[in-house]
Amino acid sequence: MSVSLKAKIAEVFEEPGCDINQGKSEKERKKGCTKQLSPGAAAGGCAFDGAKIALQPVVDVAHLVHGPIACEGNSWDNRHSASSGSTIYRSGFTTDINELDVIYGGEKRLFKSIREIIEKYDPPAVFVYQTCVTALTGDDIEAVCKRAAEKFGKPVIPVNAPGFAGPKNLGNKLGAEALLDYVIGTVEPEFTTAYDINIIGEYNLVGELWQVKPLLDALGIRILSCISGDGRYNEIASAHRAKVNMMVCSKSMINIATKMEQRYGIPYFEGSFYGISDMSETLRQIASLLVKQGADAELIERTERLIEVEEARAYKRIAEYKKRLQGKRVLLITGGVKSWSVVAALQEGGMEIVGTSVKKSTKEDKEKIKEIMGEGADAHMIDDMTPREMYAMLKEARADIMLSGGRSQFVALKARMPWLDINQERHHPYGGYEGMVELVHEIDRAIFNPVWQQVRIPAPWGDDGETLGAVTPTVTASSTDHLSAVAANAMGLEPEEIPV
């Protein structure tokens, strides 16, 4: 691992926005929160994967992976991050290094790849991602990117996050560090207003940002940049002129919020777009901070009027679903911001949370769960539930539906219980007031789908598939006579002539 990468990782581990981190001794703090991985030991996601996930939703730049083609294949388009314009971010670019590049170095190949991308696609910038192999062979992507930027007159941003540096979460933060070091603060916006905000840690999954943007537009609040969903390079580069930062997922890019507060004096808060009350509270916090930063005080009144109208409309639309879903038990296997934000949304829909995973959640996330769920919240917080435990919980009908990512769906299906995708692979947006209606609608569809009545009917050969033939069929005289007649006809004999 290069000296510069070690220094950057140590800097990330000094994160001031993490209470747990700051409560450690200096020695313990430098070790970080998770054990660093060895090359090849990237189960559950590596640092490169985390950096690519965090930055690929910047839609108008070319994302070039400097490494074997498999690294690009495994990381390409693994989230449904939508774009309202450019689609170059969905093109896979890789240097596709081979054995000779490992021996002689891949820096020349990288430079040629950058030149080819700029000549063919002319993006406003190129992001270059380091991988395990090229980091181990010593390719200096910072030097190549600097030379390419000078040669071609375009920003070429090195993202030094090889897979063996650590887990996916560290990669999220190393990707954020690349923005802080090379992008944010390098461009001045055409104009600024007292109502400019940045949204950090929002990836616009299946267009969730677009369910929130009309609400902000109605209040005259401008999203100066979204980091990184449906993001544009120049918008992110000018993000330092915003008045307020909203942090959506503190696990991924908290270092952007804290460092922008240190460097540019931009206050930040963590909010949620999931659920009616949380969406309203987020709008209130944005308005309040903007007023403190110099916006017209009348913004708070306009916000309250908008909230009143939108809440009444949303509650009216979910009323019928709420009657059907009242008391339904939900097992929530996710993490991070969803471990508490989705809990609030489900409770508003009349449902009961029997368990919520906190494996990927911060201390603040857990405190919010306790605040929302009240007494007994600890009993419902699950650090790490194995598939066997999930199966037992669903099979014994201790939950009516499981909400999770795609990797857990087969546990629910094997238990013949409803399942709904709540993670990044989903196809339905659940953000904002409109998203809340969509969420309860999809849960209602899943739970009351008639297919579950059919698949729960015991098979005649037994549930385990091992008792095939153990059930003796009931044979009546009439059925015997019919079978004899059929057999005799097939053999060309009279029934009484059939040998026994």
Look at residue 272 and tell me whether its pLDDT is greater than 80: yes
Residue 42 has a pLDDT of 47
Pairing of strands 126-130, 156-159: parallel
Least confident of 162-176, 353-367, 414-428: 353-367
Residue 91 has a pLDDT of 92
Residue 241 has a pLDDT of 97
Q: 386 versus 371: which is more confidently predicted?
A: 386
Which of 13-22, 161-170, 358-367, 443-452 ranks highest by mean pLDDT?
443-452
Mean pLDDT confidence for 1-18: 78
Look at residue 400 and tell me whether its pLDDT is greater than 60: yes
* Contact yes or no for 344/372 (Cβ under 8 A): yes
Residue 267 has a pLDDT of 97
Q: 36 versus 194: which is more confidently predicted?
A: 194
* Contact yes or no for 167/359 (Cβ under 8 A): no
Mean pLDDT confidence for 328-334: 87
What b/e sequence results for 424-446 when a residue is b if at least 16 CB atoms lie within 10 Å of its CB, and e otherwise? eebebbbbbbbbbbbbbbbbbeb
CB atoms within 10 A of CB 371: 11
The residue to which tokens 């008045």 are assigned:
243
Q: Please spell the DSSP secondary structure of 42-82, one letter per residue.
A: -TT-BHHHHHHHHHTTBTTSEEEEES-HHHHHHHTT-S-B-
Mean pLDDT confidence for 157-174: 92
Mean pLDDT confidence for 37-57: 76
CA distance 29 to 296: 42
Look at residue 43 and tell me whether its pLDDT is greater than 90: no
Query: Does residue 446 sit in helix, strand or coil?
Result: helix
Look at residue 83 and tell me whether its pLDDT is greater than 50: yes
Which helix (H) or strand (E) element contains residue 330? strand 329-333
Q: Which residue pairs, CB below 8 angstroms and at least 24 apart, start in 412-419?
A: 415/390, 415/391, 416/452, 416/455, 416/456, 417/452, 418/446, 418/447, 418/449, 418/452, 419/446
Query: Does residue 381 sit in helix, strand or coil?
Result: strand
Least confident of 150-164, 286-300, 456-470, 477-491: 477-491
What b/e sequence results for 92-125 when a residue is b if at least 16 CB atoms lie within 10 Å of its CB, and e otherwise? ebbbbbeeebeeebbbebbbebbeebbeeeebbb
Confidence of residue 494 (pLDDT cuts 50, 70, 90): low
Task: Look at residues 218, 228, 233, 174 and name the one whose alpha carbon lies nearest to residue 198.
Answer: 228
Phi–psi pair at 281, nearest 5 degrees = -65, -35
Look at residue 472 and tell me whether its pLDDT is greater than 80: no
What strand order describes the sheet that includes 93-94? Answer: 93-94, 62-66, 126-130, 156-159
Mean pLDDT confidence for 59-66: 96
Confidence of residue 373 (pLDDT cuts 50, 70, 90): low
Rounded to the nearest integer, the mean pLDDT of the chain is 85
State the alpha helices, DSSP H only, in 96-157.
99-104, 107-121, 132-136, 141-152
- Percent of the chain exceeding pLDDT 90 equals 55
Largest Cα span, the chain:
104
pTM for the whole structure: 0.83
Residue 409 has a pLDDT of 87
The structure tokens listed for 17 are 């926005």
Torsion angle defined by CA atoms of residues 384, 389, 393 and 399, in that order, rounded to the nearest 10 degrees: 30
Mean pLDDT confidence for 315-339: 86
Query: Does residue 8 sit in helix, strand or coil?
Result: helix
